[in-house]
Every structure is written in C-alpha cells, then in structure tokens.
Amino acid sequence: MTSLTDAPRIGLGMPRVPGVRGRLKDIPVPGHKRVLLAAPRGYCAGVDRAVIAVEKAIEHYGAPVYVRKQIVHNIHVVTELEAQGAIFVDEVDEVPEGAHIVFSAHGVSPAVVNAAADRGLHAIDATCPLVTKVHREAVRFARDDFEILLIGHEGHEEVEGTAGEAPDHVTLVGSPDEVANIEVRDPDKVVWLSQTTLSVDETMETVRRLRERFPNLQDPPSDDICYATQNRQVAIKKVAQDADLVIVVGSANSSNSVRLVEVRPRVRREGRLPRRLRERGQAGVARRGRDGRRDERGIRARRARPRAARRARRRRLWRRRRGEDG
C-alpha cells in the first residue's frame, strides 16, 4: 500500500465554509403559518473535506474509486458520489488488489490500514481531523497505561476505529445507565474520551456518573464532541421553542440526525426524521406536539445534509401546506 505520506498529493482546496446567515426573522404570513430554518445547518468542514477527497480522487485517478463504508452517513451524498464513479464497500477485502480506496470521515482502526496494505491498495485517508485527534489521544493514554472509557455507540464506525487504536485499554460506555456496571483495573488511572457526534447533554450526564464512581477520572485535553455537532444541537433547541413540528432532514443511520431528534424532546416539541424526501415519517421518533397545533414548523439539517435536499424539503412542505389550505 502506498503510505499516506508517500502517496501523490491531491490538492483538496479549502473547505466550503457556509456563508454567514442572519438571525431568523418573524415575518407574518396569511394564516400565521411559518417555516423556521435553524442556523447553523448543513455541511461541517470535516464532512466537506471527506466528500471533496472522493471527488478529487475520481478526478485524479479515474473511476472507479472505492470507499470503505459510507463516506458520510447520508444516502443523498452517497448516491451522488456513486453516480460519479465511487464504489462503496464494507471491507477492504472487497476491493481489487492495487486499487484506490478512500477511508471514510469516521476513521478506521490500524487493523483496517494493515488489511489494505496486505492487498496492495492505495489508500486515501479522509478521516475527519477531529476524529484523528481522538485516535491520537487514545494512543497516548494507552501508552501511559490509562484505562480509556470511550463514550459512544457500539457498532458505529468511528467507535470501532478509535477502540482499535488501543483495544486492550478501551472500555465502551454506551449510555449513562451503563456506568454502574463499569469495572476498571486502577481507578486512579482512568480517562474518558468520546465519539464526536454524541448528544452533549447525554455525554455530560455520562461523565457526571463516571466521576461519581471514579473521582480521579481525567478529562480529554480538549472537547471530543465536534463543534458543529454542538452548535447544531444548540440551534435546534432554540428553534424548537417556537415550532410545533421539528423536521430533521437527514438519514436514519446518521448519529448526528438521531441526536438532533433526541435533543428536541427536552424542549417538548414534536420531532421527525425523514430518511428520504419521498419516505417521510418512516424513521419518525419521539413525537410530541403543543396543544395539537401544527401551524409552525422548524427545519433542521444535520451537518452532512446537502443544501439541495434542504431546499427540496422546504418546497415539498410549502406545496403540502397550500394544498391543505385549499
């Protein structure tokens, strides 16, 4: 396998930073029906970087370019890249020897890197830089013989990649309720790390309970939860205060999308997570309304949702409202 340092360099350019958006304005319309758009929304820099990496690889090397797992958890993005010549696989042994493979934004374990090397694959690492930071923290704390309590969801690619950096030192903590059953070798050498796409509220509750059990629990050097994940959770809390129905535009396998729907019940509004524009409601969860009224709707796009999909959602919503109004 061509090493990540020796491989030919492909200029990715600067991430496409979303434009500055003004504050939401209360604009009266007939019938007092409004669609509120949360801000910020859409792509984060890490997702944008990963998508550009696949596009540039196809442009530079030609199709097909293989991608391990979904480059980001969004079926709209995956479908667009497939049309350009990307082939998504579950494991590296599905890739022809000597081909080019992109590691997704969620990161991979050293075992996956080694498996790609054994097949002579040319690897392109599109791991989000924040995920890479968490990997390096895991390696460093394991080297110092710390027990690492990794807060995250079992089976998620990011968690598998981080845990794979130090499998003998990592214990997965899936929720606050699991804390009571955690056992460690040395309670004085314990540190917590987290998946980058978690609910901030739930993660802090998990940390609080861990610290009750292990008072000498150390914190990571800096926040592990992505800044884009955090500010979008704050945004949905704000918009939900004024909305009767909150629609999170994203995919059901997206940790970010599901966390946004989970954040919403804490402010007592109805939340829905449509998987595709034509499959609205199939993945709906945690539905609660306000006095049965449905006059105000908030739309929240998770951090890997394309702008075109959000516009299509808004058009569909307004067509539906006009039909209801006769």
Give the pLDDT confidence of 143-154 residue by residue, as tens digits.
Answer: 999 999 999 999
Q: Over the stretch 250-272, which tens digit does the pLDDT of each residue have?
A: 788 787 778 778 775 554 444 45
* Domains, the chain, ordered by start: 30-43+226-324 (3.40.1010.20), 45-127 (3.40.50.11270), 130-213 (3.40.1010.20)
150 φ, ψ to 5°? -95, 110
Nearest to 239 by CA among 321, 313, 301, 322: 301
Rounded distance, CA 72 to CA 104, Å? Answer: 7
| Both structure tokens of 319 | 């067509």
State mean pLDDT over 276-300.
41
Q: Over the stretch 223-248, which tens digit does the pLDDT of each residue have?
A: 888 878 888 888 888 888 888 888 88
User: Which residues carry a binding-site annotation for dimethylallyl diphosphate?
Assistant: 73, 106, 156, 254-256
Catalytic residue list contains 137 = no
User: Which residues carry a binding-site annotation for [4Fe-4S] cluster?
Assistant: 44, 128, 226
| Both structure tokens of 229 | 């994940």
- Sign (positive/negative) of CA torsion 33, 324, 308, 255? positive
pLDDT at 42: 76
Does pLDDT of 297 surpass 60?
no
Helices (H) and strands (E) in the chain, counts: 9, 11
* Active-site position among 55, 158, 160, 296: 158
Nearest to 225 by CA among 263, 196, 254: 196
Does pLDDT of 196 surpass 80?
yes
If you search the block for the tokens 């995920």, which residue do you land on? 131
Q: Over the stretch 38-66, which tens digit does the pLDDT of each residue have?
A: 888 777 888 899 999 999 999 999 999 99
pTM: 0.72
- Sign (positive/negative) of CA torsion 182, 186, 188, 192? negative
State mean pLDDT over 121-125.
97
If you search the block for the tokens 């998508």, which residue do you land on? 51
User: Which residues carry a binding-site annotation?
Assistant: 44, 73, 106, 128, 156, 196, 226, 254-256
